[in-house]
């Protein structure tokens, strides 16, 4: 016979704990301690057994009441437990008092940073890269943080490392010729947004809210860094030359058009196909050349 366990029924959700302002109980503890000490002194002086019993009871109550006092700082919560049973969370800062039998565990609600270690991972194209990230997170549900995972701080660290590795495998480092592919180095905001969403899905069970996640270290692994750098430089040179050629073609076309049309009919310079080709070739050479060109003056005639 198998037993089906409902995980939702076992989930503990944060609720308000039973605790009060601790100043008045603290005053009562102090006064009770003074009163009990006075009774104990009188009992020892008069050797009165009944008075000694009353003094012992008063001091016992004072000690028990003192165990109920605790202090919370701003952005700090106290998880209250009674013999292993969750009894709520106190989020009010200052001196507090609750049932002395309650066990209290303090949980920080402050914003925290965590830097993952730089890891070597293969990207979507199989290239080894070095990647690391910073995660900004905060505990929002103390019951989940304490009872759903064993150690929520360690859980955040492990899940952050796993999420960064998974992200690096999901995108290529660079797409080079394909500009429509989302890359780690190209679309930084989208990649960081994907990392934040994945981390939130992983850390939600621990009562943690991911405020921000960003890649802080992203580079090729040392063994391929030099070759990839040369490839990037070559791609940049090709892109630059393509842009120069496109501009040169437009300039040559406009120059030929203006020569043949002119401002007036007298200014027009008609060109046949051969002269137009020669003029275009010479002008393309001047515009697209990497080095300064040396003009050659033709003193003859172009007529055949």
Q: Provide CB contacts within 8 A for 36, sequence distance 6+.
A: 55, 58, 59, 62
For residues 7-22, b (16+ Cβ closer than 10 Å) or e, as one string? eeeeeeebeebebeeb
Quick one: pLDDT at residue 266?
A: 61
Quick one: pLDDT at residue 2?
A: 44
Quick one: pLDDT at residue 167?
A: 92
Q: Is the pLDDT of residue 8 over 60?
A: no
Q: Is the pLDDT of residue 154 over 50?
A: yes
Quick one: pLDDT at residue 250?
A: 81
Top pLDDT among 262 and 40 is at: 40
Quick one: pLDDT at residue 289?
A: 67
Top pLDDT among 88 and 279 is at: 88
| Mean pLDDT, the chain, integer | 83
* H or E, element range at 71: strand 69-72
SS3 304: coil
Q: Per-residue pLDDT tens for 215-267?
A: 998 888 877 656 667 666 666 666 777 777 777 778 877 777 777 776 565 66
Q: What is the mean pLDDT of residues 13-34?
A: 91
Quick one: pLDDT at residue 3?
A: 42
Q: Per-residue pLDDT tens for 264-299?
A: 656 667 766 777 777 777 777 776 666 666 666 555
Top pLDDT among 116 and 238 is at: 116
Asked if residue 83 lies in contact with residue 3, where contact means CB atoms within 8 angstroms, the answer is no
Quick one: pLDDT at residue 5?
A: 42
Q: Is the pLDDT of residue 17 over 50?
A: yes
Does the pTM of the predicted model rise above 0.75? no
Quick one: pLDDT at residue 202?
A: 93
Q: Which of 45-54, 147-156, 167-176, 219-228 has the highest mean pLDDT?
A: 147-156
Q: What share of the chain is helix, strand, coil (3-state, %, to 5)?
A: 50, 20, 30
pLDDT band at 41 (very low <50, low <70, confident <90, very high): confident
Q: What is the dihedral of CA 243, 248, 251, 255, to 10 degrees?
A: -170
Quick one: pLDDT at residue 123?
A: 87
Q: Per-residue pLDDT tens for 67-83?
A: 999 999 999 999 999 99
How many whole angstroms separate alpha carbon 137 and alpha carbon 196? 10
Asked if residue 115 lies in contact with residue 76, where contact means CB atoms within 8 angstroms, the answer is no
* Residue 139 CB coordination number (10 Å): 25
């Amino acid at each position: 016979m198998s037993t089906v366990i409902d995980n939702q029924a076992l989930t503990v959700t944060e609720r308000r704990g039973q605790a009060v302002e601790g100043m008045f109980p603290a005053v009562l503890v102090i006064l009770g301690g003074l009163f009990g000490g006075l009774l104990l002194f009188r009992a020892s002086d008069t050797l009165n057994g009944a008075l000694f019993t009353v003094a012992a009871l008063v001091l016992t109550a004072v000690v028990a009441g003192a165990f109920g006092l605790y202090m919370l700082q701003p952005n700090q919560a106290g998880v209250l437990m009674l013999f292993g049973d969750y009894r709520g969370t106190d989020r009010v800062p200052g001196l507090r008092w609750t049932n002395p039998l309650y066990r209290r565990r303090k949980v920080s609600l402050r914003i925290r940073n965590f830097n993952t270690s730089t890891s070597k991972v293969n990207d979507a194209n199989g290239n080894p890269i070095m990647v690391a990230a910073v995660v900004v997170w905060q505990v929002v549900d103390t019951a989940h943080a304490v009872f759903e995972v064993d150690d929520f701080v360690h859980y955040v660290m492990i899940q952050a490392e796993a999420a960064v590795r998974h992200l690096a495998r999901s995108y290529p480092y660079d797409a080079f010729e394909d500009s429509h592919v989302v890359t780690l180095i190209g679309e930084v905001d989208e990649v960081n947004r994907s990392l934040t969403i994945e981390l939130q899905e992983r850390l939600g069970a621990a009562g943690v809210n991911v405020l921000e996640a960003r890649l802080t270290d992203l580079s090729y692994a040392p063994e391929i860094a030099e070759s990839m750098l040369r490839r990037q430089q070559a791609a940049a040179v090709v892109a630059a030359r393509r842009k120069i050629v496109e501009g040169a073609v437009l300039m040559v076309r406009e120059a030929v058009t203006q020569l043949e049309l002119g401002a007036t009919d007298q200014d027009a310079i008609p060109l046949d196909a051969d002269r137009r080709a020669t003029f275009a070739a010479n002008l393309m050479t001047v515009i697209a050349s990497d080095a300064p060109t040396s003009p050659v003056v033709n003193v003859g005639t172009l007529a055949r």
